[in-house]
Amino acid sequence: MASQGIETGLARWLPQDMLEDFIDDYRDVATTINLNRQPREVLAEALRHLSRVLLVDDWADRVRSHVNTEWSSLKNSRRLGKELTEEDVAEWHRIFLDALQRDNWQEFINAPFVYLPETPTNRGNIVALDDKQQKAVVDSWKATYIGEVPQALWEHLNRHCDPEAKRFKVYAHYAAIVQSSGMGKSRAIDELARSHLTIHMNLNYAKATGYPPPDSLVRSHLVFDTRDRAFVNNKILAFLEALFKVTEDRLKDKKERLHVLASDFRMRMNDGMTFQKHGAYRHDFFSEEHYATTANESQTIREPPTPPGPKDPSRAVFRPGDACLRLMNVLKQADERKKKEERCGAPYLILAFDEAHAMTTQVTSPTGEAWSAFYELRAALRSLMSYGVFSLFLSTTGRISQFLSPRDQEFSMRLVTRQLTLISPFTDLGFDFLAERIKGEDGFTLAHVTTDEFMCHLGRPLFGSRYDAADEDSSIREDIVQFAMAKLLATSDFERDLNDDQKLACLSQRLALEFNSTNYLEQGKEKLQVEGHMRVCLKLDETFESMVSVSGSEPILAEAAYAVMQHDSFDVPNALKKVLEGFAVNKGDRGELLAMLLMTLARDAAVGKANAAGKPESGVRYVSVVSFFEELFGGFGKNANLERAGHDRGPWDWNTTSPNDFQKDFQNSYVYFNHFIKVHDYGVLDADYLLAIFSRGGAVLCANNQRAIDGVAMMVHGRPSEHVENIRATRETLGFIMWQVKNDASYTDQRDDDLFRVMDPFKLNIWKAGLDKDRVSTVKASEQMQKWPVIRIVFALASAKPALSIRRTEITQGGARFRAYDIWCAGLSPAQLKPITDVQSDVWDALLQASYGWKDRLYKGLSTTLESLRRSQDAGAAADNRNFRNWEFPQR
């Protein structure tokens, strides 16, 4: 229900500024609602106000034809009984309370019953769960599992159960699995259950479109729409007690060893599962008759000072502990690892709560105390510390921070004072498990590595498993790029105006944007990219306050971003400008972000527009080197006197060469990349590593402080008569486009050949064995480089005078010889850079100014007086009189 609303909700019709104004207005009204009433009454008033505010003049014209105006005249809650089920009311009442608590209104204002139904467009149907789609999802789940994630997850939780560790240092034996969508969180749990006894529960609501299907009874015992904390506590404890009792009853007569018992239990729980419902065994396991008795008995417990041990008399008041202890005795009898030292404290039972974000809505009690069902469950789990139970919480759609509160937001004083700690989240789900392996000695053709099939198997398993499960179904496979677009944008409506978060997702996927999040707001924006836009979380710090994240190298997502960026409404330079202004994104120090954007736009122009399926109309994703440079430096390969858009380009400086030479040398050479990879190790500049990156459509943004170059794109050279589809990219046919970027005005339209000299592929060790240190190329590096020229570019972006100078040189260096085309591009102007148009010149200038990172960070927005004072505090740090004026004499 929620996901449907988000895809078709208010943001579709209101631009971002109007949407923000609307939320401000609705917030003012919503905060006046009396929450001390029945959920239906609260929701009725919330819906009435929502519809009324939607119909005010500021935005009525945009949304009137889409809004269910009948809600605006809602007198009381009776009509809700006709329109919404009990589960609908409970779910949206919870979402409304969550919006109030967190001041995050997107999900509630996009409630699907607020808007009139629409006929979905063809482009939106790619996520419609018809029979074929459902079959593909189920079949992908059943495919043979590849990867070592379950073993790594087991090691992670085992490490925190080690009896040699300080027993009470950890608050409770639970951890969150934190990662973006499609990384295989739920599937990893299911695979773990093959060898370790796991009860995997899905807390999604009944109408949700996901797999595995939800466990509605479990949700009814763990997700609540009430402010009665004692009631919630009682229900959770009763559920745990019943869960342990039912599990004991199912397993107590089994004679198998524990790992066999675990596998058999998993098989029975999954048997008969379809996309819509579970099988008979699981349905009976979670049937109400097993859970009703304990739920009606009062048993309240607050977090004990210390977890009760099996021999602790105080445990008698903790009835879930009694039931758990009996279950543990059954499991220990089945455990083949009898000795304590062999068991090493490893848990006997894993409780996995999928879609667990449903439990995290915070409620404020009449006494002012904040709490949630999750906190109540967590306290109960702490009381089970010594019982051999470990819990995992995961969510495919919820906020990652919901299970990982920073210390200063915690409700447990022992967590705040560091007497206890939470177990670090598990993030390492891995990439490329389904990828086709490329052998370096055999190489590959661009025709092969640019297919949907090859690309979608790189990165997270979501796309490759979906493709494989389609059973040759042409529609699912044909729509794989559209599916990737929907995942990247978190919507299947590709026609509406994109918000800033969606634009950031596209640009990040292609330009390897890095976050520099330093405060809560910035961190929230970064987390949103992980939660909703496929960004990968590499690490969360120990306080859970900040993370390290990347837009991983996923060619299919990069192609999805390319398709989105082809829309006429996507003004790429302006979008990047807004991203740099509105997000804590690393702008670079020398203007390298601008160079990457220029090259990306040139590549896209050479490839051409995307068709309705999100694929190039040309049918190919690689381009000739000549056509690429035509789009980067318009008129580059034609003649020496050209004009475009009124800019006199002539005479071009083809020093020591000519356009004909360039076309001849690269007549059958092709470049391919659809995204950049930011590398962190100088050693990646090696022919073998670069060949591997080439196969996945990557170009390289070099490591910080990398000497000589800022970036590398790869190309492949074929013989003059060789058809492009037969050209194999190998070490022997691999070529390079290398560049440096300067945003220092001291670099002008006059060439500085020293900058080219250091871009030497020998000095940079590119032509040394990399992936296989024992293998030596049969072709000597000097002979190899003599055959294929290198292209070296210097972008002197801050030059006041635009110029483009091309020089063909032959270099002899220590016996090694190679040819190079050295291109000096001065200025940031339509006069020499084709991606820049006249109307966008100011935007590109603003991007250049933003690349002066230290100036932007220190002095942006200051008055003249304040800037002078601040500069004086940074004495001698810049070539500005104000950094010197109070103590030294340079006056220029």
Task: Decide: 488 and 468 in contact? Cβ < 8 Å.
Answer: no
pLDDT value at 171 more than 80: no
Rounded average pLDDT over 131-153: 88
Helix-strand-coil split of the chain, %, nearest 5: 45, 15, 45
Name the nearest CA neighbour of 375 among 323, 345, 415, 343: 415
What's the pLDDT at 118?
42
User: Residue 143's Cα: distance from chain center in Å?
Assistant: 24
Give mean pLDDT, residues 631-656. 57
468 neighbors 143 (Cβ within 8 angstroms) = yes
- SS3 call for 759: coil
Whether the Cβ atoms of residue 258 and residue 335 lie closer than 8 Å to each other = yes
Degrees, nearest 5: CA angle 833-839-844: 55
Q: Which pair of tokens denotes residue 137? A: 């999802």
**pLDDT computed for residue 115 by the predictor:** 65
**153 within 8 A of 426, measured Cβ to Cβ:** yes
Residue 68 pLDDT more than 90? no
One-letter identity of residue 52: R
Read off the pLDDT of each residue in 48-61 and give the average, rounded to a whole number: 72
**pLDDT over 90, % of the chain:** 37
pLDDT band at 783 (very low <50, low <70, confident <90, very high): very low
Question: Looking at residue 84, what is its pLDDT?
Answer: 74
Least confident of 285-299, 313-327, 610-624, 643-657: 643-657
- Provide mean pLDDT across the span 367-385: 84
Alpha-carbon separation of residue 646 from 632, 830, 831, 832 (angstroms)? 18, 9, 9, 12
Q: What is the pLDDT of residue 815?
A: 61
What is the Cα–Cα distance from 704 to 588, expressed in whole angstroms?
9
Is the distance from CB of 353 to CB of 176 less than 8 angstroms?
no
Q: 561: Cβ–Cβ under 8 A, 6 or more apart, which residues?
A: 488, 505, 506, 507, 509, 510, 675
Q: Say what the pLDDT of residue 327 is.
A: 95
pLDDT tens per residue across span 653-680: 776 777 888 999 999 999 999 999 999 8
Task: Please give the helix or strand (H or E) that residue 737 lies within, else none.
Answer: strand 734-742
pLDDT at position 20: 78
Share of the chain above pLDDT 70, in %: 75
Per the CB < 8 A criterion, the answer to whether 392 and 189 are in contact is yes
Look at residue 52 and tell me whether its pLDDT is greater than 70: yes
The single residue listed with the structure tokens 């990069």 is 558
- Residue 339: pLDDT band (50, 70, 90) is low
Report pLDDT for 346: 85
Closest to 503 measured CA to CA, from 471, 528, 480: 528
The helix (H) or strand (E) run that includes residue 352 is: strand 349-354
Between CA 12 and CA 63 the distance in angstroms is 9
Q: pLDDT tens digits, residue range 218-262? A: 988 898 877 788 889 999 999 999 999 999 999 988 888 899 999
pLDDT of residue 532: 85
DSSP track, 579-622? HHHHS-B---SSSHHHHHHHHHHHHHHHH--B-TTSSBTTS-S-
| Residue 436: predicted pLDDT | 93
Between CA 874 and CA 857 the distance in angstroms is: 13
The domain spans of the chain are: 2-118, 164-416, 617-855, 861-892
What does the mean pLDDT of the chain come to? 80
Average pLDDT over residues 58-78: 65
Q: Is 602 helix (H, G, I), strand (E, B) or coil?
A: helix
pLDDT of residue 406: 43
Quote the pLDDT of residue 82. 62
User: Alpha-carbon distance 577 to 851, whole Å?
Assistant: 11
Give CA–CA dist 39/73, Å, rounded.
Answer: 19
- pLDDT tops 50 at residue 750: yes
Task: Encode pLDDT of 448-472 as tens digits.
Answer: 999 999 999 999 999 999 999 887 6
pLDDT at 876: 65
Which stretch of 329-338, 602-611, 828-837 has the lowest confidence by average pLDDT? 329-338
Q: How far apart are the first and last CA of the chain?
A: 66
Residue with tokens 């790619």: 126
CA pair distance 709, 765, nearest whole angstrom: 13
Predicted local distance difference test score (pLDDT) of residue 641: 39
CB 847 within 8 A of CB 574: no
